[in-house]
Structure 1
């Protein structure tokens, strides 16, 4: 007797994540925080903004700040080129373009398989929901708490 699909789904809850690569990091944000993925367009730099804000870009009649997640997390800096993509991230009323070197797609991750963020170390850990190990260490994906990350980025930008 195989269990009913509805029962099997309840027994092992999953969460959907948008997975991408930024530099050497494999990252993911909850899919409900991602509106769409676009090509990187014209970026207009802004004076006196934190280094993680690369500038602004126009998208569907809206001016969006563009964020370098690597700089924000202190893990290097993004190289914006022809193959670079932006994902439009949202939290509440706020929207931002985030630089992604490669889009890895959507992935359903069992909640029970999400490991807690590593203890100690760098400040980037405070913005993680956890880590998904995958099948090998190369498959590990850091799961970003996008709402908290966006709040921290706004606070850092306003303080300046």
Structure 2
């Protein structure tokens, strides 16, 4: 039986539509701190707020900048640059904190600039670079940008908070 080009196209079309829908993506909250562009899964971010007054904690690890009051709770504030051994963040008037959560752990994290929410195809996430430093240990992967400066390092925020808590408690 000879079929017309239109009939052949219609038989093929549903298969292509299904394959286009089968490209899973994940949403990340992206931000910049220092020279790093980072992303954490959006389900780990509750809100973004201005960095307010911080109360330093005696004998706290250097990555824990102190605590701040937020909605009647005491919120520990982390410097990811210090935690990842990539420098240190400076609190400026335009500095933001995002409230990150994983299970029962909640912390404020310093962000110089909020880049927003980005949907990233799972197929575009490259594995973390080889190495055993603190940064790669807590990475889910990397999304390459058009330039090296636009590459986004995706963090395993749950593991990061768990490690930070262990380091803070063990002191």
In structure 2, the residue corresponding to 1:157 is in which secondary structure? helix
Post-superposition CA distance 1:24-56 (Å, at most 9, x none) = 000000000000000011100110100000000
**Counterpart in the other structure of 2:150:** 139
Distance 2:63 2:85 in 1: 9
**Counterpart in the other structure of 1:14:** 25
**Counterpart in the other structure of 1:67:** 78
In structure 2, the residue corresponding to 1:27 is in which secondary structure? strand
**Counterpart in the other structure of 1:33:** 44
Structure 2 matches for 1:1-160, cutoff 5 A?
A: 1=13, 4=17, 8-9=20-21, 11-120=22-131, 122-160=133-171
Shift of 1:138: 2.1
Largest Rg, 1 or 2: 2
Return the TM-score normalized by structure 2.
0.88
The 8 Å contact of residues 83 and 134 in structure 2, kept in 1 or not, is answered as no
How many equivalent residue pairs?
A: 158
Uncovered stretches (5+) of structure 2, i.e. residues with no partner: 1-12
Shift of 1:134: 2.4
Return the TM-score normalized by structure 1.
0.94
Post-superposition CA distance 1:105-133 (Å, at most 9, x none) = 00000001100000025231000000001
Tell me which stretches of 4 or more aligned residues in structure 1 moved more than 6 Å: none
The 8 Å contact of residues 30 and 116 in structure 2, kept in 1 or not, is answered as yes
In structure 1, the residue corresponding to 2:149 is in which secondary structure? helix
Shift of 1:7: 6.0
